[in-house]
Structure 1
C-alpha cells in the first residue's frame, strides 16, 4: 500500500526497541477514570509503521447509516487471542503491558486491533469500547501509535465538561483505564490540516471491544 510518512526528527533509527514503562504519567479524569501517557515508548516506530502499512491484510468496511451504506473512514485489521501478530515487537509490547498492569488489571491483554488513518479525512467518531465487558466493568485499553501524530480527544460520556486533546504518533503510548470506557468517550477527528498517515494498535483484554 502506497503511503508517505514524514519521519520524526527525534526517532532517527530503524532499531525497534521498547523503553521502560516507569515513565508513564497518569491523569485522573474523575468518576474512577484515568489515562496513562508515555511519549516515544517505541523507538524505531517509523520503521514499524512502514512494515505494518505494507504487510498487514488491511480491510475496508462499510456500515449502514440510516438509509445509506457508507465506507468506514479508516482501514482495519484484528488479531484475536492466539493469533500471530504482524510483528514480534507487538508481542513484546503486549507482554510488557500485561506485566506492568497485572496487579491493577488482573488479567492479560489478549487481542490487538489495528486502525490505519491514511490522511486527515480518516477518523473515528466519539465512542467508548462498551461492547462486551467494558459496558459494565472497569477495564483497560492500551493504544500504541506509529506514523504521523493525530489528535486523540477525550470527553465525559454524552458531552459536556472539558475536552482533553492528546496528539499521538511516532511510538507514543496511551492507556485508558478504570471506568474510562463507560464514563468517557474518545475520538480521532477529521482534520483539514496536512497530515501524514498513522496506525494505531489497540491492546485489549478478552471480551472487551
Structure 2
C-alpha cells in the first residue's frame, strides 16, 4: 500500500512549496505499475521546433485525461483514462488533497533521454499550479533552478522508484526544473505528472 501524506517531507526551497516522499509506493506495487504502464500506454515520439527545425523530443510521451493541453507548441488531445491511471490518480489525490483531471506521461528509455529546464506555468494550469509527479523505474537526478535569484544554487534530488514529488503554490513562478542526461547505465523510467487543466 502507499504511504500516508505524513511521509511527504517539505524540501528546503525558498519561494516554493515542494514535498517529496521517496517511497510513496512499496517496491512490489511500484514494479507492478511500471510493467502495466510500459505495456498499456500509447507512447508517442513527438517532435518540437527548435531553432526553426523540427527535432524529436528526447523521450516518449502520452497525454490522458479530461482536457487537452498545449506546451512547447504541441497540442495534446487527451486519450481516455485507463484503469491503471485512474488507480494512480486516486492514490495521489488522497495524499496531496488535490484533484487532477489530466496526466502527462514521459518514458525515459535510457540516460540519453532527458528534459530541459522549464516551468509548468502555462495559463491552462491556473495561477498556482499543483503538479503531482510519480516516478517509476530507474533512479534519475532532478534539478531545480531559481528564475531570478542568481545567488541561489541549483538544487538536485534523486527521484527514486515509487516516489512522489508535489510542486505547489508559487513553485512554478520562482523555479524551473529539469531531468539531465546521465552517462551511467540506468533502467528505463516512467514519470507521471498529474495536473488540473482549467477551463
| TM-score w.r.t. length of structure 1 | 0.80
Q: How many aligned residue pairs are there?
A: 185
Determine the C-alpha separation between the residues in 2 that align with 1:131 and 1:138. 10
Shift of 1:38: 0.5
RMSD value, Cα: 2.1
**3-state SS of 1:109 partner:** coil
Q: Could you tell me which residue of structure 2 aligns to residue 69 of structure 1?
A: 54
Written as runs of structure 1 = structure 2, the 5 A alignment for 1:138-149 is 138-149=128-139
2:192 corresponds to which of 179, 182, 201:
201
Shift of 1:158: 5.3
Determine the C-alpha separation between the residues in 2 that align with 1:187 and 1:156. 12
Q: Could you tell me which residue of structure 1 aligns to residue 3 of structure 2?
A: 19
Determine the C-alpha separation between the residues in 1 that align with 2:96 and 2:137. 25
Shift of 1:173: 0.5
Question: Any conservation in 1 of the 2:4–2:95 contact (CA below 8 Å)?
Answer: no
Is the alpha carbon distance of 1:46 and 1:131 closer, same or farther for their aligned partners in structure 2, counting shifts above 3 Å? same
Written as runs of structure 1 = structure 2, the 5 A alignment for 1:1-209 is 17-31=1-15, 33-43=16-26, 44-81=29-66, 84-88=80-84, 90-102=85-97, 108-134=99-125, 137-157=127-147, 160=150, 161-207=152-198
Is the alpha carbon distance of 1:169 and 1:85 closer, same or farther for their aligned partners in structure 2, counting shifts above 3 Å? farther
**3-state SS of 1:155 partner:** strand
Determine the C-alpha separation between the residues in 2 that align with 1:100 and 1:191. 31
Question: Any conservation in 1 of the 2:96–2:166 contact (CA below 8 Å)?
Answer: no
Partner deviation per Cα, 1:15-69 (whole Å, 9 max, x = no partner): xx322222110124222x1210001111221222122112211000111111322
**3-state SS of 1:42 partner:** coil
| TM-score w.r.t. length of structure 2 | 0.84
Shift of 1:163: 1.3
Determine the C-alpha separation between the residues in 1 that align with 2:34 and 2:88. 15
Question: Any conservation in 2 of the 1:18–1:93 contact (CA below 8 Å)?
Answer: no
Determine the C-alpha separation between the residues in 2 that align with 1:187 and 1:101. 22
Determine the C-alpha separation between the residues in 2 that align with 1:67 and 1:139. 30
